Amino acid sequence: MIRRARPDEAPTLKALVERAYAPWVPVVGRRPMPMDDDYGARVSAGEAWVLEEAGVVHGVLVLEDHADHLLLHNVAVEPARRGEGDGRALLDFAEAEARRRGSPEIRLYTNELMERNIALYAARGYAETERRREKDFARVFMAKRVG
């Protein structure tokens, strides 16, 4: 089940994101931005979602509403559950949520060194729109039409 995160779950979200992104720290050479996000604020803003099964949170999704798109700010899955379809379910939900909100496209960005993620998004129909340095990160921006 995917549902909005509750305020008491902000520490759970942060801890899961820490575990999910930890392998990328040596690749990127620093902590990826989602590791330092304010999940309490994300929950309060209604931007944080969780994938839960039997009362256990297995995935986190952060979606930001923008005038002309929905930004998939973060998707993270419990490392022990990789390959179980949780990431796919969260991405499917994000795209369905964009359509539900009337957004014509969903956008995301990732670090250019996260090549596995770039390939995964491309395989799902996301097209690279640009590369640029932002906040001292080399980012790859991608978008997918969903409307």
Span 2-51, pLDDT tens digits: 999 999 999 999 999 999 999 999 998 899 999 999 999 999 999 999 99
Q: What are the pLDDT digits (tens) for 43-63?
A: 999 999 999 999 999 999 999
Answer whether residue 145 shows pLDDT above 90: yes
Asked whether residue 106 carries a pLDDT value surpassing 90, the answer given is yes
Q: Where are the domains of the chain?
A: 2-104
Between CA 49 and CA 89 the distance in angstroms is 12
What pTM was estimated for this model as a whole?
Answer: 0.93
Query: How far is residue 85 CA from its own chain's centroid?
Result: 15
- Positive or negative, the CA dihedral 24, 28, 31, 37 is negative
Fold of 2-104: Aminopeptidase (3.40.630)
Dist. CA 29–CA 78, nearest whole Å: 22
Adjacent-strand bridge partners of 141: 109, 130
pLDDT score of 147 more than 90: no
CA distances from 135 to 33, 129, 139 (A): 9, 18, 9
Angle at 125 between CA 26 and CA 73, to 5 degrees: 50
